[in-house]
Amino acid sequence: MTYYQPVQFAQMRPQPKNGFGTTALVLGIIALALGFIPFVSLFTAIPMGIVGGMFGILGIVRASKRVATNKVASIFGLVASILAILLALTSSITTGAFIGSLGSDQKDTQSAAQPAAQPAEDVQEMEPKTDQFPGQTENDIVGKPGEEISTRGVKVTAEELRTVNDTFGAQLCSKVTIKNDGDSEVSYNAIDWKLQYPSGDMKDTTLSGEDPLSYGDIAPGGSADGNLCFDDTGEKGKYALISDDLFSFNSERAVWITER
């Protein structure tokens, strides 16, 4: 008689799904290394850090559900991604401030190198420098309405403020033209403009039906134009139309003064 022994089958266990945690760790380490490169890290380390952080969170969730076994790697990937984002912001801001301080030091050095003594007749003709509008800074380039001002790699012209009455009420509007005479594209935006009233109050642009200046990019050799409008408060005195790039480390501003 033949006896058959029962065959025992090994229980098959599912393979751990560690892909999210591993991806988070790799992206976090790469983003952390790129975070030391100023400005470039804003477009490399920060996006990679965000993606790495998302994968790290998903990896931790998987590990908590016992689907993955690399919870530590997921945590390290999440922490490295967060540190990469902070490092990218810190390095870019610090470098920008350092470059700005070098420019200020260079201006101070050039001023100190100029001869202090001048002929007596020249001293008599010199008049004390006075600000053309309240709050004027040493980096402001002030011009008259219609005058073209070169600033931050572009040439800008702003016409005299005029009164406009439309569906949005009484407004003060100025037509501006921006020319790109550089070798690369430049961006423009209506939010970079503001109007300082005679009282010193400063206001942002308002809605207008008169071909308003919006936002976009200008190719080398190209130009863009449009109207900037502000609330008409009826004040009398000097109005200062100010062009100031909010996202630039350059503190230079272009200003056009209109007397009303």
Q: For residue range 237-258, list pLDDT tens digits in order.
A: 999 999 887 556 667 889 999 9
The confidence band for 123, taking pLDDT boundaries of 50, 70 and 90, is: very low
| pLDDT of 73 over the 70 cut | yes
| pLDDT of 181 over the 60 cut | yes
Higher pLDDT among residues 89 and 106, named by residue:
89
What percent of the chain lies above the pLDDT cut of 70? 82
Higher pLDDT among residues 117 and 230, named by residue:
230
What string of H, E and C letters represents the secondary structure of the chain?
Answer: CCCCCCCCCCCCCCCCCCHHHHHHHHHHHHHHHHCCCCCHHHHCHHHHHHHHHHHHHHHHHHHHCCCCCCHHHHHHHHHHHHHHHHHHHHHHHHHHHHHHHHHHHHHHHHHHHCCCCCCHHHHHHCCCCCCCCCCCCCCEEEECCCCEEEECCEEEEECCCEEEEECCEEEEEEEEEEEECCCCCEEEEHHHEEEECCCCCEEECCCCCCCECCEEEECCCCEEEEEEEEECCCCCCEEEEEECCCCCCCCCEEEEEEEC
Q: What is the pLDDT of residue 175?
A: 92
Q: What is the pLDDT of residue 85?
A: 93
Please, which residues bridge with residue 226 across strands? 176
Q: What would the mean pLDDT of 84-94 be, rounded to a whole number?
A: 90
Per residue in 27-55, pLDDT (tens digit) is 989 989 998 998 888 899 899 989 989 99
Q: What would the mean pLDDT of 125-141 be, rounded to a whole number?
A: 71
Q: What is the pLDDT of residue 127?
A: 44
| pLDDT of 11 over the 80 cut | no
What rounded mean pLDDT belongs to the chain?
Answer: 83
- 157's enclosing H/E stretch is strand 154-158
The confidence band for 195, taking pLDDT boundaries of 50, 70 and 90, is: very high
| pLDDT of 214 over the 80 cut | yes
Nearest-angstrom CA–CA distance, 250 and 244: 9
Higher pLDDT among residues 59 and 101, named by residue:
59
Q: What is the DSSP letter of 210?
A: S
